[in-house]
A and B are shown apart, each in its own frame.
Chain A
Amino acid sequence: MSKGTSAAASVAMPPVRRGKSLGRRILEHWQLYLLLLVPVVITVIYKYIPMYGVQIAFRDFKASRGFLGSEWVGWEWFERFFTAPTFSRMISNTVLLSFFSLLWSFPIPIILALAMNQMRFKRYRRVVQTVLYAPHFISIMVVCGMIRIFLSPSGGLLNLLLGTKIDFLTEASAFRTIYIVSGIWQEAGWGTIVYLATLSTVDPALYEAAKIDGASMFQRIAHIDFPALVPMAVLMLIMSAGSLMNVGFEKVWLLQTDLNKATSDVIAVYVYQQGIENAKYSYATAVGLFNTVINIALLFIVNTIAKKAADVSFV
């Protein structure tokens, strides 16, 4: 199995070769540093130089005073965020929405990829794959428009099927389900791409051997495909954990009504609404920074666990 052999290889070739000086080792890898040169230069220019902008989280940014001239206000924006009337609700809504999203939308692409990978009818498989991938291209605005139509109590498909007259968009209890199910519809097929690519590297000889041993399809999936996917799946999980606080603003905003705010009031929408008034870039940056800190903390925790459990690491 490829996973096994590469692990074995790294054991056979310990990264640190004793006896060689650091300078010597750097010299040995000059070609690799050369490869990194352009990416590093671009990152410094376009990512690091503008980073001075982050400090406006601690200033009262006024465009006319610039980034260095705006008044220094320290933690004021953070305090304001922490004392916002709906602060605790926003935090818990954001975390829960993200968490449940992850819980449902993480395993589904893996299952789909495993199933499609075993499909022997190549043409049909391509059709299925293209269909699953297509919803990714529908804009959020139109997806939300369709949700409205499908869920409408006057003539909406779901109410027709259930024989009810419920306005689901005004039910706080339905919001997360709507958000997550539509998200899975839109992104699950897209999410399978990286898993399918990983599965394509599995050596077909393994399948042949398994077939001779009389292994059923499910056994082949369990013993060959699934282990091959684990490192990528764990990595995707770490990455999702590291963006848990980043709930997309547009979709929540388009699906929010005054009556489902109990579950749909999330940080991203709040920042947007606050931003409309007087363009509060500082406030938005401060809240963004707060999200980042939480994201990094989560990333760190999940990364540590993953490193121990599956030897997959983000850094």
Chain B
Amino acid sequence: MQVKEKKLRSLSDKTSDIILVVFCTVIMLIVAYPLYYVLVASFSDPYDVYAGKTFLLPSQFTFKGYTSVFADQRIFSGYLNSIKYTIIGTIYSVVLIFCTAYPLSKKSLPGRKWISIFFIITMYFGGGLVPTYLVVKNTGLLNNMWALFLPGGVAVGNVIIVRNFFENSLPGELLEAAEIDGASHLRTFVSIVIPLSRSIMAVMVVFSMVAYWNDWFTALIYLKADQAPLPLVLRNILIRSSASASQASTISGGYAELNKVTEMIKFASIIVAAAPMLIIYPFVQKYFEQGFMTGAVKG
């Protein structure tokens, strides 16, 4: 043990940097290869994909998957709807999570434990689709965008993460000082806690954003067809394409050819749907970086 520790100490920062870079590069390559594969597959003939001919390069290069996806006009309204839902939903969710998490992090709050339990119960017991639908209908939210957000209630798992962050990662002395200065709870929350919690807020933004971006089932149940978000539109395109293939097989033949298109759409949809989230992510990332907080505390 002693020897090992000494050895570690003797490693210079440079050596450890190299080790880190190598480690991260290896991991990244392992993770990246299947991603590359999806990209290649989206430009290839699906039967060659299934025959294992596209491990390195596309086979029978084609844009058919993408043209089939973008041939459908609804894809554009799908994008617009999704962007709208994601922005509004994310703001709503994050506000709600923070409003819930902060009081629950205050150990002095009377009834704190019972309020926590009140929320946690909803993580474990749910009434199911039909009763929820009836409440949504009775509250007048059918065909209304808010039906995507409100029935989810509060994201309790996220609330607990944020609460835990408030309890363990915020500098206690600052909050204490504010309290001694006679700042009200809301004032502390808004002017000290929130600025200090930008990193966890960024996490909540990413979590909520991605959840709303990927959700299609809620929209399918509560919204009209022209309100469909992107993943639902993509799902529709896929279902139509496979219906085309099976229809053709009964009357005119060519199941195999049309089925190819369905398979290409599957891969192309992934790229089409994931691209915006991958473009946005690097902008959120800076909030997770070392030293980011110093500026916030001082400012």
Interface bin, chain B? 35 or more
Q: Tell me which residues across on chain B come within 8 A of A53, comparing CB atoms.
A: 126-128, 130-132
Answer whether A10 and B270 are a contact pair too, CB < 8 Å, given A200-B292, A285-B128: no
Of the candidates A193, A228, A295, the one whose C-beta lies within 8 Å of that of B169 is A228
Given contacts A43-B118, A121-B21, A145-B266, contact A312 B164 (CB under 8 A): yes
How many residues from A make CB contacts under 8 Å with B? 112
Q: Is the CB of A134 within 8 A of B278?
A: yes
A141-B266, A156-B52, A218-B16 as given contacts; A126 in contact with B157, CB under 8 Å: no
From B31, B34, B102, B173, A132 is in contact (CB under 8 Å) with B31
> In the bound complex, do residue A138 and residue B274 qualify as a contact, i.e. CB atoms below 8 Å apart?
yes
Q: Which of B22-30, B66-74, B240-248 lies at the binding interface?
A: B22-30
A154-B184 Cα distance, complex, nearest whole Å: 69
Give the A-B contact count at a CB cut-off of 8 A: 309
Closest CB-CB distance, A37 to chain B, in whole Å? 9
**Inter-chain contact B150/A42, CB cutoff 8 Å:** yes
Q: Closest A-chain residue to B108, C-beta based?
A: A15
What does DSSP make chain B's interface, helix, strand, loop or mixed? helix
Residue B76 is within 8 A (CB to CB) of chain A in the complex: no
Question: B233 CB to closest chain A CB, in angstroms?
Answer: 14
**Contacting B168 at CB < 8 Å: which of A2, A160, A242, A281?**
A2
The 0/1 profile, CB within 8 Å of A marked 1, for residues 31-57 of chain B is 110110110010000000111110100
A202 to B52, CA, bound (A): 47
- In contact, B127 and A115 (Cβ under 8 angstroms): no
Query: Which B residues are in CB contact (< 8 Å) with A126?
Result: 282, 285
Q: Are A39 and B154 in contact (CB under 8 A)?
A: yes
Contact A8 B172 (CB under 8 A): yes
B199 and A29 contact, CB distance less than 8 A: no
- In the assembled complex, the CB of B59 is this many whole angstroms from the nearest CB of chain A, namely 12
A177 to B152, CA, bound (A): 33
Taking the closest CB of chain B, its distance from the CB of A244, in whole angstroms, is: 13
B202 at the interface (CB under 8 A from A): yes
Cα-based distance from A3 to B171 in the complex (angstroms): 8
Distance in angstroms from B69 CB to nearest chain A CB is 14
Seed contacts A203-B294, A232-B168; 6 additional CB < 8 Å A-B pairs = A2-B171, A8-B172, A49-B135, A128-B24, A131-B31, A217-B16
Q: Identify the B interface with A (CB < 8 A).
A: 8-11, 13, 16-17, 20-21, 23-25, 27-28, 30-32, 34-35, 37-38, 41, 49-53, 55, 96, 99-100, 102-104, 106-111, 113, 115-120, 122-128, 130-132, 134-136, 139, 150-154, 157, 160-161, 164-165, 167-173, 175-176, 179, 184-186, 189, 196, 199-200, 202-203, 206-207, 210, 214, 266-267, 269-270, 273-274, 277-278, 281-282, 285, 287-294
Q: What are 15 A-B contacts with C-beta separation under 8 Å?
A: A6-B169, A9-B173, A32-B103, A35-B189, A48-B122, A67-B130, A122-B289, A131-B35, A194-B200, A197-B200, A201-B170, A203-B293, A204-B290, A204-B294, A315-B116
